[in-house]
Structure 1
């Protein structure tokens, strides 16, 4: 998804290198046509989320890309996003803090949808690999590191203070939304694809998966 979103930024004025990148994406899609998300039965309704960012990863605008993923039942992926910020972050902590906003908004929307089915959640766990961003989110007092940040991004502070969302630190090695913010090595990419619940869904493999989950 990250590669597709990155190429989409240049669709107004593409060059030869962008065409080459898009061709590689199509080749990847062709070779992985049987790969998809597998949803086993009895997954539960526990909501969790991961938020990540690459600080000034865009070489043209020096803006940050944020990635967010939401799981149901602990390890079943139900929502994901990869988007370039519309503001320039002055530090990696600020970039991570701003990235928490869309991820939090999405997980709260999922929480609202589940409320219609009489599932109620508080202290929704969100995982971030920046201790500084977590410290900013848990501090109700504005200071020099945050006073210049757009007001809407402080939305996360209110939700943490009210106990609706709970932030946890996760090491970069276990940051599952890493896949949506930057290009990765082949081994790391395949590891994260597997952790996100992607499986080969050929008829033979589907039968094996169904037997394992029964």
Structure 2
């Protein structure tokens, strides 16, 4: 999937743009982001390349508790709403939202970093090409043992309709996974559930969903569990997820193509990434900066 990272619109009406290469719809919340800076009382013009610092794991005991956590809660709630059009901050917002009960100075610093990233990418938009196909495709990933405080893993997925991103998630798994394969399989089951719902929705709209939806995974062991009909001791405790995913694989709801980790788009929803890797995956999410002439 190749999308431009910068678009100059020749004519526009609302948020529909005509360019030399075709017609696009762009979805963004530029004004909302500006208002967010004011509400957060962020007056400096500093920017950062990524919304979350790499190799930093936040815990509830980091830093000093804020004397008044109301601003933290307000801004984090606003950021959650912003993720509706900004999938690039989904994982970072997922991280800071875990500390709304008793936020600390360290957690507030993480929120400010997200805001400074938004300052440098305020005009970033989701791209919806008018020529995009109506075929679903999905990517599923997991970051095993990603939370040092409870050892739970993080699920990330993204689902495209043609070249248009229509669904995504970054969420801590409900239970502790005993291996990376188990964490990946739980993520696969969650993604399958979302695929099933989207296929029902598209079918109600008259869209052909007779072909399996490819669910791209970069863990061959997890893929083998879905394809084998025999349960072993190491998979008994995830039997429900196994049955669910395997059933939809057998029914032809999904297929399981392997994708190399370097091309796993859902990676952006599971962990903090270096700037070059982060920008690469943002491009894959069909996100760009648009300037109307």
TM-score, structure 1 as length reference = 0.91
RMSD: 1.2
The answer for the alignment partner of 2:204 in structure 1 is 116
State the alpha-carbon separation in 2 of the partners of residues 129 and 46 from structure 1: 21
1:111-190, aligned counterparts within 5 Å? 111-121=199-209, 122-149=211-238, 151-152=240-241, 154-190=243-279
Q: C-alpha displacement at 1:152, in angstroms?
A: 4.5
State the alpha-carbon separation in 2 of the partners of residues 111 and 178 from structure 1: 23
The answer for the alignment partner of 2:96 in structure 1 is 7
The answer for the alignment partner of 2:280 in structure 1 is 191
From 92, 98, 117, the equivalent of 2:180 is 92
State the alpha-carbon separation in 2 of the partners of residues 157 and 146 from structure 1: 13
Is 1:54 paired with 2:143? yes
Tell me, yes or no, if the aligned pair for 2:186 and 2:241 is still in contact at 8 Å.
no
Q: C-alpha displacement at 1:150, in angstroms?
A: 5.6
State the alpha-carbon separation in 2 of the partners of residues 172 and 82 from structure 1: 17
From 75, 82, 91, the equivalent of 2:170 is 82
How many residue pairs end up in the alignment? 203
State the alpha-carbon separation in 1 of the partners of residues 97 and 242 from structure 2: 25
Tell me, yes or no, if the aligned pair for 2:165 and 2:285 is still in contact at 8 Å.
yes
User: Which runs of structure 1 show a deviation greater than 4 angstroms over 4 or more consecutive aligned residues?
Assistant: none
Tell me, yes or no, if the aligned pair for 2:225 and 2:242 is still in contact at 8 Å.
no
List gaps (5 residues or longer) in structure 1: 205-214
- Per-residue displacement from partner, 1:39-77 (whole Å, max 9, x unpaired)? 11120101000000000111111100000100011x221
From 106, 110, 133, the equivalent of 1:21 is 110
SS at 1:96's partner residue? Answer: helix
Q: C-alpha displacement at 1:117, in angstroms?
A: 2.2
SS at 2:145's partner residue? Answer: coil
State the alpha-carbon separation in 1 of the partners of residues 105 and 239 from structure 2: 37
List gaps (5 residues or longer) in structure 2: 1-89
The answer for the alignment partner of 1:33 in structure 2 is 122
TM-score, structure 2 as length reference = 0.67
SS at 2:160's partner residue? Answer: strand
SS at 2:208's partner residue? Answer: coil
